[in-house]
A and B are shown apart, each in its own frame.
Chain A
Amino acid sequence: MTKTTRMNAEQAMHLALREEMQRDADVLLMGEGVATKQRDLVAAFGTDRVRNTPLAEAIIAGTAVGAAASGLRPVIDLLFAPFMAYAMDALVNSAGKLRYLSGGQFEFPLVAIGMTGTGWCVGAQHNHNLEAMFVHTPGLKVVMPAEPADFKGLLKAAIRDDNPVLFFADLALLHQEGEVPDADDFIVPLGKAALRRPGDDVTLVSYAKTVGVCLEAARQLEDQGISAEVIDLRSLKPLDEDAVLRSVRKTGRLVIVHEASGLCGIAAELAALAATKAFAALRAPVVRLTGPDAPMASSWVLEQTAVPKPEAVTDAVLELIAYDHSTPTWLGEALPAGSRSEEPVLMKAY
């Protein structure tokens, strides 16, 4: 039996950092406030390895890239994901490309952490789920966990990986608790999805906070006699195509749910995957439930309206179950993003 401790996702990330810094003297942590907020790491590893930086994302990321190419394994905390826009040259043009352009002369083992997602009403310049941008960038890996154990295991795997990894932390999940394995060799490999709930009638695929939305939808569907399988991608790149295809070939129905906007997003990629590699198994069109092509509002009501809700998922599934090939309808257009319920269901902040 694996020994575990109950903690929240933020604590799980901290534990991962601490364990990896203990294990490998080349790991260093840089960012605006990392030393201020994590005094225990400074005490354990010193100010050389836990470095507060200027509030200047471009040089934080650039310095990490240069250091990674020179034998260190930097972890940078860029605070909020939209701040990565200032770090794009270092992350995209340097970290993602210079290994390839140099003919494999260099490795860039670095991790860039950014928080994002709804739930804190921080508005669009602190809340922008831009993970698909980085999935679209060669040379980078991207993860976005849903459970505290994965926050620990994926961060440790990201630090040990020899490639640049973007680690997105969903704001609304940071204070949710779960059982986290104690073992300091506990790793969640990059590129492996998790089956959160087995089912036979429909496959619900998601990542980060909308995994919870899918699980809630699956419970509601069970009451109606529908068995939904829920897959948590965890890693967006590499993407665990096999896990999705295996499930879709079994259920014949696919609903993909995420908070990021839909255009050219993860759901679009998975819809294409299903159409390309599981076409014969599909019994109904693929449905995408995503955030809208709009900046995130701060107002609680508007913010929550932008997030797919369990009711939207169950509605979509019911339509898929009822779908008849002889009288096709365009399901996707009938389903607006977000919820039809009036109550915010994800977080009761106030």
Chain B
Amino acid sequence: MDQDPINAAGPLRRLETMLLIRAYEDQLVELQRNGAPGTCTSVGQEACAVGVVEALDARDRIVSNHRSAGHLIARGADPHRLMAEVLGRVDGYCGGRSGSLHISARELGVVLTSTIVGGELSLAPGVALAQKMGKGEPGGIVAVFFGDGAACEGIFHEALNLAVHWQLPMLFVCENNQWQAFVHRLETMADTAIAEWARGHGLPVATVDGNDVEAVHDAAAAAVASIRATGRPQFLELSTYRQRGHFEPDDQAYVDPAELQVWLTRDPIRRQHERLLELGHIDAAGLAAMARRTRTRIETALAFAQASAWPAPDSLLEHVYA
């Protein structure tokens, strides 16, 4: 990370983006308590999204999964339209047809999202193939986000094999959040399996602390530069933790409280904020102002979403077929 105070803009921006993601998802949890449609949050995984997405540029494409809020917001998605989508309103990115789970935003390059664990891995090589065959902007790559659960799907191996063999410009980003729906990953796989599997397929692999946004950003930037230069895929395994349950509401009765506590002390936002305080890039008042700004944005987004119209019932069959 750049420790020159003059260049503190990047780390500060990343902190604010993580705060915005957290505020947005906290709001979704709150809405859910009041009967809004449920959601799969990425609380605790914000550094993965922000660190990787900030290393991409406008040429690049993102393929995401059901825990997509961080990827979307880091890419610049408007919380107003995200919130409207979650509430099923016409101003949502998908006109209310997606809800929180399958949001894609073509204008942002978040091109496809599958909630079927592993589905994103099946789609991403095709997006990259199109890039390679001249359908995207020159030099563009595809970043695909998935978790340790998807790594246990057969499609994980099919996608890696194809990407290596066809030399597809792809960044595989495994957000290893330790949980596969309601099962701890160590019940289903060897501890170091994911990186080893990727290496076995011939991909360069970096295993990174996924709760350190600067470490993630540095690793992602290096990988992206290499993919652009070589046209070949790379793999990032980001070690992180899903702080909330699989799907709201979830009492997390199956979670070991001691393990959760350890990971809460490694919270990515808290770490970035302590780091920036220590480096003198921000002070307590600055942090408070930043937190207020993000909360206000989300409050405004919620008001916008609640004021947005419901889709017309007679639009039910629009967009089934082209």
Which chain A residues have a beta carbon within 8 Å of chain B's beta carbons? 26, 28, 48, 51, 53-54, 56, 58-59, 61-72, 74, 89-90, 93-94, 98-109, 138-139, 141, 161-163
- With a CB–CB cut-off of 8 A, which chain B residues contact A100? 97, 319-320
Contacts of B63 in A (CB 8 A): 66
Q: A70 to B127, Cβ gap below 8 A?
A: yes
What would 13 A/B residue contacts be, using CB atoms closer than 8 Å? A59-B125, A59-B159, A62-B159, A63-B129, A66-B122, A66-B125, A69-B111, A70-B111, A89-B116, A100-B319, A100-B320, A102-B106, A103-B97
Q: For A70, give its contact among B104, B135, B165, B318 (CB under 8 Å).
A: B135
Residues of chain A within 8 A (CB-CB) of B125 are 59, 62-63, 66
Secondary structure dominating the interface of B? mixed
Is A59 in contact with B158, judged by CB distance below 8 angstroms?
A: yes
CA distance A107 to B322 in the complex (A): 6
B131 touches A54 (CB 8 A): no
CA distance A187 to B116 in the complex (A): 36
Smallest CB-CB A-B distances: 3 pairs:
A66-B126, A62-B122, A70-B130
**Complex contacts, A106 vs chain B, CB 8 Å:** 104, 106, 111-112
On whether the beta carbons of B98 and A101 are closer than 8 Å, the reply is: yes
Contact of A105 with B104 at beta-carbon distance under 8 Å, contacts A69-B127, A94-B123 already known: yes
Within the complex, what minimum Cβ distance (angstroms) separates A86 from chain B?
9
Cβ contact within 8 Å between A70 and B126: yes
Query: B98 touches which one: A54, A70, A103 (CB < 8 A)?
Result: A103
Query: B129–A90 contact, CB under 8 A?
Result: no
Distance of A103 Cα from B316 Cα, bound (Å): 11
Distance (whole angstroms) from the CB of A64 to the closest CB of chain B: 6
Which residues 102-120 of B sit at the A interface, judged by CB distance below 8 A?
102, 104-106, 111-114, 116, 118-119
Beta-carbon contacts under 8 Å, B67-114 to A:
92-98, 102, 104-106, 111-114
Alpha-carbon gap, A13 to B94, bound state (A): 37
From B94, B123, B159, B318, give the contact of A65 (CB < 8 A): B123
User: Are B154 and A99 in contact (CB-based, < 8 A)?
Assistant: no
Contact of A98 among B112, B131, B165 (CB under 8 A): B112
Cβ of B181 within 8 Å of any chain A Cβ, yes or no, is no
B321 and A163 contact, CB distance less than 8 A? yes
Does B162 make an interface contact (CB < 8 A)?
A: yes
CA gap between A23 and B7 in the complex, in Å: 53
Contacts of B97 in A (CB 8 A): 100-103
Whether A71 lies near B123 (C-beta < 8 A) is no
Inter-chain contacts of B291 with A (CB < 8 A): none
Bound-complex Cα distance A28 to B126 (A)? 12
Tell me, in angstroms, the Cα distance from A64 to B127 when the chains sit together.
9
Q: What residues of B have a CB within 8 angstroms of the CB of A62 in the complex?
A: 119, 121-123, 125-126, 155, 158-159
B298 in contact (CB, < 8 A): no
CB-CB under 8 A from B158, the residues of chain A are 54, 56, 58-59, 62
Please indicate which of the listed interface residues B93, B111, B136 has the most CB atoms of chain A within 10 Å of its own CB. Answer: B111
Given A70-B61, A100-B320, A103-B96, 18 additional A-B pairs, CB 8 A: A26-B135, A58-B158, A62-B155, A64-B126, A66-B125, A69-B126, A70-B136, A72-B126, A72-B133, A74-B126, A89-B119, A89-B122, A94-B123, A101-B94, A102-B106, A103-B94, A104-B318, A162-B322
* B112 lies within 8 A of A66 (CB): yes
A247 to B257, CA, bound (A): 70
B276 close to chain A: CB less than 8 A: no
The answer to whether the Cβ of B178 comes within 8 Å of any Cβ in the partner chain is no
Q: Are B162 and A59 in contact (CB under 8 A)?
A: yes
Contact yes or no, B98 A102, CB < 8 A: yes
Asked if A66 meets B118 with Cβ closer than 8 Å, knowing A101-B94, A102-B98, A106-B106, the reply is no
A102 touches B102 (CB 8 A): yes
- How far does the Cβ of B94 sit from chain A's closest Cβ, in whole Å? 4
Cα(A74)–Cα(B127), bound, Å:
12
Tell me whether B123 and A90 are in contact (CB under 8 A).
yes
CB-contact partner of A67 in B126, B155, B319, under 8 A:
B126
User: Taking the complex as formed, is B306 at the interface, i.e. its CB lies under 8 A from any CB of chain A?
Assistant: no
Residues of A within 8 A of B123 (CB): 62-63, 65-66, 69, 90, 94
B226 touches A (CB below 8 Å): no
Residue B207 is within 8 A (CB to CB) of chain A in the complex: no
Task: Report the separation of the CA atoms of residues A93 and B102 in the bound assembly, to the nearest whole angstrom.
Answer: 11
Nearest-Cβ distance from residue A11 to partner chain B, whole angstroms:
28
- CB of B173 within 8 A of chain A? no
For A104, the chain B residues whose CB sits under 8 A away are: 95, 318-319
Residues in B whose Cβ lies below 8 Å from that of A103: 92-98, 319
The verdict on B161 contacting chain A, using a C-beta distance below 8 Å, is yes
Chain A residues whose C-beta falls within 8 Å of the C-beta of B322 in the assembled complex? 99, 107-109, 161-163
Which A-chain residue is minimally distant from B128 (CB atoms)? Answer: A66
**Which residue from chain A places its CB closest to the CB of B130 in the assembled complex?**
A70
Q: Is B124 an interface residue (CB 8 A)?
A: yes
Chain B residues, Cβ within 8 Å of A90 = 119, 122-123
Distance of A139 Cα from B318 Cα, bound (Å) = 11
Contacts of A67 in B (CB 8 A): 126-127, 129-130
Closest to B107 in A: A105
Contact B111 A58 (CB under 8 A): no
Question: In the complex the two chains form, what is the Cα distance from A28 to B159 in whole Å?
Answer: 19
Whose C-beta in chain A lies nearest to the C-beta of B144?
A66
Residues of B within 8 A of A51 (CB): 166
Q: Is the CB of B122 within 8 A of A58?
A: yes
Residue of B nearest to A86 (CB): B154
Residues of B close to A28: CB separation below 8 A:
133
Q: Which of A54, A101, A161 has the most CB of B within 10 A?
A: A101
Contact partners of A108 in chain B: CB under 8 A: 322
A68 to B98: give the CA distance in the assembly, Å: 20
